[in-house]
Chain A
Amino acid sequence: MSAVMITRKVRKWESSGKEHFLLRWTRNDGPQKGVFYLTLFLIVGTCLTVLSIRVSRPIAASTLFIWAMITKNVIGACPYLAIHLSPAIPVFAIVLFLFVMAMLLRTSFSDPGVLPRALPEEATFIEMEIEAANGNVPAGQRPPPRIRNVQINGQIVKLKYCYTCKIFRPPRASHCSICDNCVDRFDHHCPWVGNCVGKRNYRYFYLFTLSLSLLTIYIFTFDIVHVVLRSVDSGFVKTLQDTPGTYPFVLVCFFTLWSVVGLTGFHTYLISLNQTTNEDIKGSWSGKNRVQNPYSHKNILKNCCEVLCGPAYPSVLDRRGLMRDDLPITSSAAVPAIRSNPVPQTTKTTAPLIPNEHTPDDTKPSIADTTNPHAEKSSPSPKEEKQPTLYKALHSPSLQSTVWTYEKTCF
């Protein structure tokens, strides 16, 4: 019998994330109509370009905001400062702006460290291990929550089971309900960037906030310098009349500055302690009950180096790959018997820690289930029953449930 592996022409990715975003829009209604129309042109131009390639709206919103801020301030003050002070000033602003945009796009379009869902065999294997560990649960009683305890650097860390991805989440991983994926070293889901911030793109996110803070401070400072120099030349009142459009923007810049600089400061603090926003919010390593962060090197410089200059982790998503039917495991008789030896490095809980700890199954139906009505468990034919191991035709859609739900192109 010739073995045929049918490659289904289906891409592995699908998007199921819900998008939430905040749209902040700043407008300048001053009498300097010329510059305003230029700004508007740039904004509309960016908008059309960006939206025409179906970029997510949060990125467009962030981009537009940065564009608006830059163009309004830089174009107004540029020539004056270039002539009176130095041409390096606007040049540096442009370089910094380009860096900000690069970091923003990198953060948005990077895979944050999505953990792919478990294949059916792996999910079954894990289920069996759980059942073996729980033993016989008397009827009517809730089974204990699915938690594994692991000791890391002298701390007991609980690994929770993800009912959506059917895996025990690695330490520091968390499931993002917006992206509907488990993300390694989950920090938070940033609506501005329209993406989760995780292991792979945290440094880009941090550099984005840092460079944006610097850019905002830089522009704010030079706007003030511009106004002061003009006032020295031609008097304060005349300056107010000449450049009325700048002031609302300066005000906006001032308030933006506090939020962006605040965010950068917060993340600098987290990096120095090697913590994630998620851990900080939950208070995982807050020091209660002598709980300490097992991932910290107890040295600020080492922590910073690890987070910012650590190795560039590869993406484990194969977005462009084709779905390929793997050889399915067939009957339950072939599945190995319950493992006799418990895994020594992990200790399983024997009693429920918190009643009803487990999360209910995701209400969103699996996309795969709806797309493939033929998914079924294969059953042994009478002739093959003699052998406990069976080989099934490869058109059995065993991989239907393993759909990556992440659509962005990854670096």
Chain B
Amino acid sequence: MLEYWRNRWGGWNTSGETEFHNLQELRHSASLATKVFIQRDYSEGTVCRFQTKFPSELDSRIERTLLEDTVKTLNTYYAEAEKMGGQSYMEGCLACATAYIIFLCMETHYEKVLKKISGYIQEQNEKIYAPRGLLLTDPIERGMRVMEVSVFEDRGSSGSSLSSSATSGGSAQR
């Protein structure tokens, strides 16, 4: 319950701090080169979807399929969160009947999915993106408008690959 309140009232700091930690590890041997933004895809309306088009700036950094898979998985997560089905209607009606006081005690379906998304992005960062000198930022921290991909360059060597110390810093500290 306390954890719930901390997450509730502390905003999205937890994932931000985790990324900060990852970032610190990367920074030992890398510097931020640029940021690439994956925009929202509004072709299906106002539901949260990101474009699966591969940004050309990342051509040399990561395989197309990996990034596209990540974006597609995130899109399915968001679709699940915003799904208009029996569960969301039940939740809405129950909340209305209790004058929305019940939201103080329980997590909404959307919030549960957002937690899953946060965990997924962190896992992807540790396994796929950090070894390639990239870092995905959770879209919720950018107002659900863009997915930010930070591109790091290795400061020491002339190549663009990160040293292995970066991968060791992937332990989560939530």
User: Residues of A at under 8 Å CB distance from B?
Assistant: 3, 5, 98-99, 102-103, 106, 115-116, 118-119, 121-122, 125, 150-153, 157, 159, 167, 170-172, 184-185, 203-204, 207, 294-295, 302, 305-306, 308-314, 316-321, 324, 327-329, 334-336, 339-341, 343-345, 387-391, 411
Q: For B101, what are the chain A residues with a Cβ–Cβ distance below 8 Å?
A: 102
Min CB gap A370→B, angstroms: 24
Contact A125 B100 (CB under 8 A): no
Sample of 18 more A-B contacts, CB < 8 Å, known A3-B24, A121-B35: A5-B23, A115-B145, A121-B37, A122-B146, A153-B45, A309-B89, A311-B108, A312-B111, A314-B108, A318-B141, A320-B10, A321-B16, A324-B20, A327-B23, A335-B34, A339-B57, A343-B39, A389-B155
Min CB gap B67→A, angstroms: 15
- Complex Cα distance, B114 from A334, in Å, reads 33
Contact B110 A312 (CB under 8 A): yes
Contact A152 B44 (CB under 8 A): yes
Using known A-B contacts A122-B146, A318-B12, determine if residue A152 contacts B56 with beta carbons closer than 8 Å. Answer: no
Interchain residue pairs with CB less than 8 A apart (27):
A5-B23, A98-B99, A115-B143, A115-B145, A150-B42, A153-B44, A153-B45, A167-B145, A170-B46, A184-B46, A203-B96, A204-B100, A207-B96, A295-B45, A314-B108, A316-B144, A320-B10, A320-B11, A321-B13, A327-B23, A339-B57, A345-B51, A387-B153, A389-B34, A389-B153, A391-B155, A411-B100
Is B127 in contact with chain A by the CB < 8 A criterion? no
Smallest CB gap from B49: residue in A: A345
Q: For B11, what are the chain A residues with a Cβ–Cβ distance below 8 Å?
A: 317-321
Contact B32 A389 (CB under 8 A): yes
User: Residues of B at under 8 Å CB distance from A?
Assistant: 9-13, 16, 20, 23-24, 27-28, 31-37, 39-46, 51, 53, 55-57, 81-84, 88-89, 91-93, 95-96, 99-101, 103, 108-111, 114, 140-146, 148, 150, 153, 155
- Complex Cα distance, B51 from A153, in Å, reads 17
Contact B31 A171 (CB under 8 A): no
Q: For B43, what are the chain A residues with a Cβ–Cβ distance below 8 Å?
A: 150-152, 345
Q: For B34, what are the chain A residues with a Cβ–Cβ distance below 8 Å?
A: 329, 334-336, 389
Contact B88 A311 (CB under 8 A): yes
- Complex Cα distance, B44 from A334, in Å, reads 34
B31, B39, B42, B150: which contacts A390 (Cβ < 8 A)?
B31
Contact A316 B140 (CB under 8 A): yes
Min CB gap B21→A, angstroms: 10
The 7 closest A-B pairs by CB, nearest first: A309-B92, A391-B31, A318-B11, A389-B33, A3-B27, A389-B153, A327-B32
Min CB gap B106→A, angstroms: 11
Q: For A184, what are the chain B residues with a Cβ–Cβ distance below 8 Å?
A: 46
Contact A171 B45 (CB under 8 A): yes
Min CB gap B11→A, angstroms: 4
Contact A5 B24 (CB under 8 A): yes
Min CB gap A190→B, angstroms: 18
Contact A336 B57 (CB under 8 A): yes
B39, B56, B83, B100: which contacts A340 (Cβ < 8 A)?
B56
Q: For B92, what are the chain A residues with a Cβ–Cβ distance below 8 Å?
A: 203, 308-310, 312
Min CB gap A35→B, angstroms: 29
- Complex Cα distance, B8 from A129, in Å, reads 36
Smallest CB gap from B17: residue in A: A324
Q: For B28, what are the chain A residues with a Cβ–Cβ distance below 8 Å?
A: 3
Q: For B100, what are the chain A residues with a Cβ–Cβ distance below 8 Å?
A: 102, 106, 204, 411
Using known A-B contacts A343-B51, A389-B153, determine if residue A321 contacts B12 with beta carbons closer than 8 Å. Answer: yes
Smallest CB gap from A306: residue in B: B84
Contact A170 B42 (CB under 8 A): yes
Contact B42 A171 (CB under 8 A): yes
Contact A339 B42 (CB under 8 A): no
A99, A334, A345: which contacts B33 (Cβ < 8 A)?
A334
Q: For B99, what are the chain A residues with a Cβ–Cβ distance below 8 Å?
A: 98-99, 102-103
Using known A-B contacts A116-B143, A185-B46, determine if residue A310 contacts B111 with beta carbons closer than 8 Å. Answer: no
Smallest CB gap from B99: residue in A: A102
Smallest CB gap from B141: residue in A: A318
Q: For A106, what are the chain B residues with a Cβ–Cβ distance below 8 Å?
A: 100
Min CB gap B28→A, angstroms: 7
Smallest CB gap from A327: residue in B: B32
Q: For A340, what are the chain B residues with a Cβ–Cβ distance below 8 Å?
A: 56
Q: For B141, what are the chain A residues with a Cβ–Cβ distance below 8 Å?
A: 318
Contact B37 A125 (CB under 8 A): yes
Contact B145 A310 (CB under 8 A): no
Min CB gap A99→B, angstroms: 6
Q: For B95, what are the chain A residues with a Cβ–Cβ distance below 8 Å?
A: 312
- Complex Cα distance, B143 from A103, in Å, reads 26
Using known A-B contacts A106-B100, A389-B153, determine if residue A310 contacts B84 with beta carbons closer than 8 Å. Answer: yes
Q: For B140, what are the chain A residues with a Cβ–Cβ distance below 8 Å?
A: 314, 316
Smallest CB gap from A330: residue in B: B32
Contact A171 B91 (CB under 8 A): no
Q: For A316, what are the chain B residues with a Cβ–Cβ distance below 8 Å?
A: 140, 143-144
Contact B56 A329 (CB under 8 A): no
